[in-house]
Chain A
Amino acid sequence: MDQFLTFGIVGLSTAAIYAVIGSGLVLTYTTTGVFNFAHGAAGMLSAFMYWQLTVGWGWPVPVALVVVLLVLAPGFGLLVERFVLRPVQALGEAERLVMTVALLSGLIATARWIWDPNVARPLPMFFAARKPIHLGPAVITWHQAITMAVAVAVAIGLRILLYRTRAGAEMRAAVDDRALVGLTGADPVRAGRVSWILGTQLAAIGGILIAPTVTLDAAQLSLLIVSAYTAAVFGRLRSLPLTFLGAVVVGCMESYLTGYLPQNEYLPGLRLAAPAFLLFLALLVFPHRRLRGRERRLARVPVPTARGTLVFAAVVIAFGAVLASLLGEADLITYGAIFSLGVVALSYVPLAGYAGQVSLCQLSMAGIGAVVWGHLGAHGQLWALGAAILVSAAAGALVALPALRLSGVYLALGTAAFAVILDRWIFGIPAFHVFGLRIALFDQGSVDVSGPRLFGLRLDSGRELMVFAAVCLALASIGVAALRRSRFGRRLIALRDSEAAYATLGGNLLVAKVAVFALASGIAGLGGALYGMQQRTVTADQFSLIAGLPIFLVAVVGGLGAVGNGLFAGTAFVAPTNALIAIAPGTANLVALLPGLAGVGLGHNPDGIVSRFRRQWEPLARDRIALPILLCVLALAWALRFTDVINDWTYYGGSLVIAAALRAWASARQAEPAEPEIPVEWWGLRRAWRPEDEEVLARGVAAG
């Protein structure tokens, strides 16, 4: 009984922290409509700053608390509100989501840059030297007591703020209707600002309170917040009292699992994954939402032509072959990921670009593909690659079940929870038998992965595997382009544009969503298997939620609807970062920040870079003089590099400069002399009326 009470108190103390953090999350979501994936990371950063001030620089605790909670946290909240989220406030939910995911990724990279993750940083508990309080058989430390008292104070404070103050009334009004609240003389921007300040302060309080009880690690601390997310989902991201109740459930569950979970090698990870499990279940039993109506701010999805797709596929293979012919063995492993992770990134195109299903677990699906290939394809049997794709697809279909009920932020949360369950528990369990069949994952360590056997040849060198991965990316790109032109592709786009219209025309939402999740996961599984082949050995950490976020961000920056995004995302994720590190090894930390910065900077450009790139380079592709010249120059440069006449930098730099110059020349050659612009009211008077003018006017009127 004493043990039960002790674990109960630990659970309540943890629950208090989750309640504080979760209430901050609910506060910002309800008043601004932004679900802040970086909320936990803000708490993590505050904990690190608090450690720096108190332990690092020896400042007194009260002073450090004042500086962190009253200066740094509010300042950070204001900066985020002003420069990260306000610019995308008018855009869709997906763009706002990307911003906070970029922030999460960026903050983790920043913390790892400033505070070396290899150095242990113990943070003392509050009043650690004092004797604990004895309440009957239960023992409560001062840190636990303070934590619970803070949660109670936060609950009372929020109640008073929301129901007894003008700022609170504004915030509650902004929840109901942001546009309307402006008409009543209140200021929704101010309400948003106050909620960001308060939300960040609550995250900071939670971070500082939880840090002494866990390892001060950027990723772990940011992910501990999954528990706070679960609490917030209990409150349906709206109700503070239910959030507090959810926190109690999660905190006590974690604590009692620690105390009473049977000790064996399969279950320790379950305790770590339990909050994510609960989050997944809570999302599953979430009340049915009505079918989503039409979303009006969607990026266009270009229709690739068959010829264009084949040319693109040839370019991908040629690019792979050129790299394979020039790179050394170590670089082949590093840069081979361009194509394998490119396949993973390509999986976002049908899933998020066409069907609008935001998934944060695509790299986890790649992990499944890698591990299945690693075990079944040890001798290079090609059928095992099919098995890797099928098993990943089956896992994807499983994720699709909550997708029927969820969309937007809830779906992203559900897929993130799935990634955490895989990462913290499933990937780590030892091999087991089902009906005599041995099932092994990462076997609590790493898995050796070998290359495939193709037409009697064993592809095992970095060179062969790079070309093989490039061919796979090319084929997958052709497949995704064909999907866009197909009946199923049209249905996916229709489903995204208006679920309600799609369903009332006879479309089955469950079938479509399960199919697209399975398809995308199969593609990601293929990418994972290719990545494993190139790396030779893979561990579960390489396929975690945190590892997958930068790939997601780069894919978003590329433009989720573009088939060329696989090559773009793979190249942008792998090449510049590794090249920069090769030039200046000291920039590794800065490089880790790049995907986050790119996400923050370009996430509000929904069309993406690939479409813009295509438009800019189209004149060169159409030019019958410039294009052959370019191809000849590139072939010559390759020959010079291959025979060691020129070095790498001259080859890559020179090729880029020549291509850019020819593009500019082709654009100038094709530019038509500009016609003097005549205002619309003079059409038909100062120049002849044209049949297309009627349509232009109609479009103008329709656009308002």
Chain B
Amino acid sequence: MASLQVSGVTVSFGGNRALDGVALTAEAGRVTGLIGPNGAGKSTLFDVASGLRRPSSGQVRLDGRDVTRARPSARARHGLARTFQRLELFGRLSVRDNLLVAAELGPERRRADRIVTEILHRLELTDLADTSPDALPTGVGRLVEVGRALAIRPKVLLLDEPAAGQDVEETERFAELLRALTDDGTAVVLVEHDMSLVMAVCDEVYVLDLGKIIAVGPPEVIRSDETVLAAYLGDA
């Protein structure tokens, strides 16, 4: 059974359809890529999946359970976590407390301190634990957001441009982290503009353009898909 299943999701802003009948499936232990030009509707789809925006039609299922009308907090309790394209860190709390808030809300709240220590170590953030996230470079801030999402022990992880602002070395380390997460059985959905990362880690890639899925397939197929190339480079 798919961990996350989005089907027929439509979202309209006034007369414009930001998402038009979008369907996406993320399986446990796999990284699912979601790519597309700016304004294609990727973050809107994440908002729908995480419950921050209600679709005008369509369904969202988590582990087979219909959560379309569930609140964001209920979806998180069912194992869905996400990061944001525009950093949403708790700026008045330290890096450690950012993770601690999440761990204390998660299913293993009694082990919250240990979980936080583990994640800080895993993401090599231990030295920055007492720093304010506002003082961190964007790339590190994104890593803190990933760590915070991991602290609720998610089954489905939605990552919105997590590698933006990271250098080559950091991106490589991040790719290793994603592989390790899928080894643990987590379903990861990755929105990313860094195509080398997408092609390196994704098992399947969805391409979204103007609110519609225009292609689905393994990275090597997507790489040479005419429709995808046209969407990115233009028809000319």
Interface residues of A (CB under 8 A from B): 290-291, 293-294, 296, 298, 300-301, 487, 490-491, 493-494, 496-498, 500-509, 695, 698-699, 701-703
Contact = CB atoms under 8 A, between A and B. Distances in A.
Contacts of A293: 86, 88
B92 A504 contact: no
A507 B53 CA distance: 17
B138 interface: yes
A500 B47 CA distance: 10
Given A504-B82, A505-B102, A498 B76 contact: no
B129 to A, nearest CB: 13
A512 to B, nearest CB: 10
A704 to B, nearest CB: 10
A507 B76 CA distance: 8
Interface in B117-138: 131, 134-138
B81 A505 contact: yes
Nearest to B93: A493
A294 B101 contact: no
Interface string B71-87: 11101110011101011
Contacts of B137: 698, 701-702
A367 to B, nearest CB: 32
Contacts of B100: 490
Nearest to A503: B72
A701 B86 CA distance: 18
Contacts of B140: 698
Contact of B138 (A497, A501, A504, A702): A702
A505 B76 contact: yes
A93 B92 CA distance: 18
B92 A498 contact: no
B51 interface: yes
Contacts of B52: 290-291, 500, 503-504
A699 B82 CA distance: 26
A695 B92 CA distance: 19
Of A506, A698, A699, the most chain B CB neighbours within 10 A belong to: A506
Contact of A505 (B101, B135, B136, B138): B101
A298 B84 contact: no
Interface string B31-52: 0000000000000000000111
A332 B53 CA distance: 56
Contacts of B101: 490-491, 494, 502, 505, 507
Nearest to A296: B91
B148 interface: yes
Contact of B148 (A294, A500, A505, A701): A505
B76 A504 contact: yes
A187 B88 CA distance: 32
A506 B106 contact: yes
B92 A300 contact: yes
B90 interface: yes
A501 B89 contact: yes
Contacts of A301: 92
Given A294-B87, A702-B137, A503 B105 contact: no
Contact of A507 (B50, B97, B105, B131): B105
A290 B88 CA distance: 15
Of A491, A505, A701, the most chain B CB neighbours within 10 A belong to: A505
Contacts of B76: 503-507
Given A501-B88, A504-B80, A507-B101, 15 more contacts: A290-B52, A291-B52, A296-B91, A298-B92, A493-B93, A494-B98, A497-B90, A500-B72, A501-B148, A503-B52, A503-B72, A504-B50, A507-B76, A508-B73, A698-B140
Contacts of A509: 73
B24 interface: no
11 contacts: A498-B88, A501-B90, A504-B50, A504-B76, A504-B82, A505-B81, A505-B149, A506-B76, A508-B73, A702-B138, A703-B135
Given A490-B97, A491-B101, A701-B137, A503 B71 contact: yes
B132 to A, nearest CB: 8
A535 to B, nearest CB: 37
A294 B102 CA distance: 16
A505 B73 CA distance: 6
